[in-house]
Amino acid sequence: MNASNLSDVLSLGGYGLYVWGSYAVTLALMLLEPILARRHRNRAQGAAAQTPSENQA
């Protein structure tokens, strides 16, 4: 593949949509995962704080 200009490089021989789309989805999921994990942890900690402890019975 001869990269004569930027559009040729980005098109990747006709497969650019699939390649760059895959990169975009992967990036979005990698950014979203820590946010969702933090939210899940906070909810679990909140629920654990609201339930009575077995040691206090």
Q: What is the pLDDT of residues 1-54, one digit of tens each?
A: 566 788 888 888 889 999 999 999 999 999 999 999 999 999 999 999 888 766
pLDDT at 54: 61
CA distance 31 to 49: 28
Nearest to 23 by CA among 12, 7, 38: 12
pLDDT at 3: 67
pLDDT at 55: 59
pTM of the predicted structure, to 2 decimals: 0.66
pLDDT at 45: 93
